Structure 1
């Protein structure tokens, strides 16, 4: 069997086991068995449990980012680009729940270097959304666009986690994306129209 095929089988098995058991409880024996390989072969290809998890994390976060980028048509109107990005994000996380669990839960539980890989992927996602927001609201300052992008990406991550934890709570990626668009785009349209919420001045209830 070609090495790349065997490695893909090992990574597929590892993602499932890490998502189901968690990083600490996952065993190389179980991963090898699920992959249909011997434990020494897993160690030969991916030298340690940490390296195996890092390879899973790199693959899953890269696949998610690639799916979002591929969905965005640069020639489409800004709202359609943001809609396509959100729909692709929710479609991918719904189709790959184990991969999303590895990226969004397990990597963050175990600190560096895993959190660094997640942070890099997230920052690239935020940058993409910030550019879409800036294209939409040209009067929007850079810092404001970045802040809105961080808020939107954080909301998408939270909604994806909830949707995967509660099967049937959100019927489809389409509906999840529409839920977030109804919050984000209506707010952006208000900004475009010069309507924004102003914090109250100093006072007992401010």
Structure 2
């Protein structure tokens, strides 16, 4: 087997190239089945260079999780204009989420499937990302609820469970949408918006459902 020839380029660029290859390989083949040889070949570098830059398969996988988690979180935050009405903020956030997961299916597989099933170290990386997104969604909902109820002191705890449920639903729906041909990011976002907003609107207008 011949030696892989590499062109000289900045370390940061080369590292991102390796992470791109790793995310694709981990996302499509799974963490256990992915090999450093395959990742190095896809990146167009030698395997020793991958180890030199990223130390081990475990460290490489952790770096992939951190990069993909940061990118997804930033995409959701960037998609929301906090000056818009509450329903528009939630819609834009959902659309940003589903657009990102649709455009980066391998990255989403790394976060949603691989990282959660291969040890506490990896699961904790994803849990931190999830907590950040839940906190962001909680702020969206609580701001809208405070405005609707004209109560600036409405506690976050009143809506924290809703944010948790909404994020969980979005995660499951993204996995389904990516596996279902013909489902667009906009359709997935509209599905969850229609499902959630009717209940949220009733809550904000003081008409919560009560158990019999």
Asked if residue 176 in structure 1 is aligned to residue 177 in structure 2, the reply is no
Per the alignment, residue 117 of structure 2 pairs with 109
1:102-141 paired onto structure 2 within 5 Å: 102-138=110-146, 139=149, 141=155
Per the alignment, residue 203 of structure 1 pairs with none
Cα RMSD over matched residues?
A: 1.1
1:1-206 paired onto structure 2 within 5 Å: 1-138=9-146, 139=149, 141-168=155-182, 170=183, 172-200=184-212
**Could you list the per-position Cα deviations for residues 87-112 of structure 1 after superposition, in whole angstroms to 9, with x for gaps in the alignment?**
00000000000000000000000121
State the 4+ residue runs in structure 1 displaced beyond 6 angstroms.
none
Deviation at 1:152, TM superposition (A): 0.2
CA distance in 1, matches of 2:66, 2:95: 22
1:23 alignment partner, SS class: coil
**Could you list the per-position Cα deviations for residues 172-191 of structure 1 after superposition, in whole angstroms to 9, with x for gaps in the alignment?**
21111111111111111111
Deviation at 1:161, TM superposition (A): 0.3
Deviation at 1:167, TM superposition (A): 2.1
Name the TM-score, length of structure 1 as normaliser.
0.93
Deviation at 1:141, TM superposition (A): 4.2
CA distance in 1, matches of 2:65, 2:211: 41
**Structure 1 gaps, min length 5:** 201-206
2:125 alignment partner, SS class: helix
2:181 alignment partner, SS class: coil
**Could you list the per-position Cα deviations for residues 46-98 of structure 1 after superposition, in whole angstroms to 9, with x for gaps in the alignment?**
10000000000000010000000011112111111111110000000000000
Shifted more, 18-27 versus 132-141: the winner is 132-141
The number of aligned residues is 198
CA distance in 2, matches of 1:192, 1:16: 42
Deviation at 1:143, TM superposition (A): 2.0
Shifted more, 187-196 versus 3-12: the winner is 187-196
2:120 alignment partner, SS class: coil
